[in-house]
Structure 1
Amino acid sequence: MARFDVRRETSLPAEVAWGRLTDWERHGRFIPLTTVTRSGHGVRSTFTARTALGPFGFDDIMDVTAWEPPSGDLPGRCRIVKRGKVVAGWAELVVTPTPSGSVVHWLEDASIRHTGRVLDLPSRLMSRVIFGRLVDGLLDG
């Protein structure tokens, strides 16, 4: 699996950063050729990221298995399990309050099914760039 992480410090309060990062539909604004739809909110909700160019594409189906928004001085944590036919794995988002705002940590371990480990390195490098831009874009508003 291709494991990567993205860390960012922001002046946004943890609750605001959390709200922006877990607004799943907005993710499509920052990931090329992708639209996101969701069903429900919080734990046990599902969302789908559809990446396509014309008629060719795939659905990245994800289930939220943990949902603990930040509260006061306590960090927030969200865990997502990817169960699509193309992408498998998990992601975890942690937003920790700090005196000057918050720290965001996005950790993901995902792979393209049926490819073995051959795509792990390029996938890890590409994902770090794409998700870095995603987190930056979401935090910037």
Structure 2
Amino acid sequence: MPGIRIVHRTPLPPPEAWLRLTDWERHGAQVPLTRTIIETAPPTRVGTVFTARTGVGRITFDDPMEVVLWQPPEGAAPGLVRLVKQGRAVTGWAEIAVRPGPAGGSQVEWREELRVRGLGRPFDPLVATAGRLLFSRAVVRLLRA
């Protein structure tokens, strides 16, 4: 499974960065041809399930995810959310950590391991590169005012 790691600094305080990064509906707007469907009632917690549906017309695939760890930042303690991908097309996990930055603001770390079914190990570098580009863009846009 290819590993993806993105580190991003933002002037936003950790609670605000956390709120923006865990607004699951906004995630869909950052990924081309994708919308997010929340399947459980708010607020987000362990057990929250949502699906990122990507495609056009009848040509779509779903990336269902479940929140298995939910620890919002509090004081100097970092926030950490872990998602497990439960789809037929995409499997793996993602983690988003938000901690106070060394010079104020926040430091965000997005880690992800994913597998696209039907693509073997020779495609891992391509999947990792595409994932880094896509998720880096999403992080920047989610944190934008």
> Shared fold by TM > 0.5?
yes
TM-score range, shorter chain: over 0.9
* Residue aligned with 2:126, SS: helix
* Alignment-derived partner of residue 136 in structure 2: 132
Percent identity between matched residues is 44
C-alpha distance in structure 2 between counterparts of 1:31 and 1:119, whole Å: 21
The offset of 1:2, in angstroms, is: 1.5
How far apart, in 2, do the equivalents of 1:35 and 1:42 lie? 20
Question: Within the alignment, does 1:54 sit opposite 2:57 as a pair?
Answer: yes
1:17 corresponds in structure 2 to 17
2:124 corresponding residue in structure 1:
120
Unaligned runs of 5+ in 1: none
> Higher strand proportion, which one?
1
- Do the aligned residues in 2 keep the contact of 1:112 with 1:119 (CA within 8 Å)? no
Q: Which deviates the most, 1-10 or 67-76?
A: 1-10
The residue identity in structure 2 corresponding to 1:6 is I
CA deviations 1:23-79 (Å, max 9, x no partner) are 000011110000001123221100100001221010000000000000000000000
Query: How many Å separate the matches in 1 of 2:80 and 2:133?
Result: 22
Structure 1: distance between partners of 2:86 and 2:7: 25
Aligned partner of 1:73 in structure 2 is: 76
| Residues 1:107 and 2:105 aligned together | no
More moved, 101-110 vs 38-47: 38-47
TM-score, with length taken from structure 1: 0.96
Residue aligned with 1:118, SS: helix
Cα RMSD (Å): 1.0
Match of 1:30 in 2: 30
Cα displacement (A) at 1:114: 3.5
Q: TM-score, normalised by structure 2?
A: 0.94
Work out whether residues 42 and 64 of structure 1, in 8 Å CA contact, stay in contact via their aligned partners in 2.
yes
Which consecutive unaligned segments of at least 5 residues does structure 2 have?
Answer: none
| Corresponding letter in the other structure for 2:72 | P
| Residue identity in the other structure for 2:55 | A
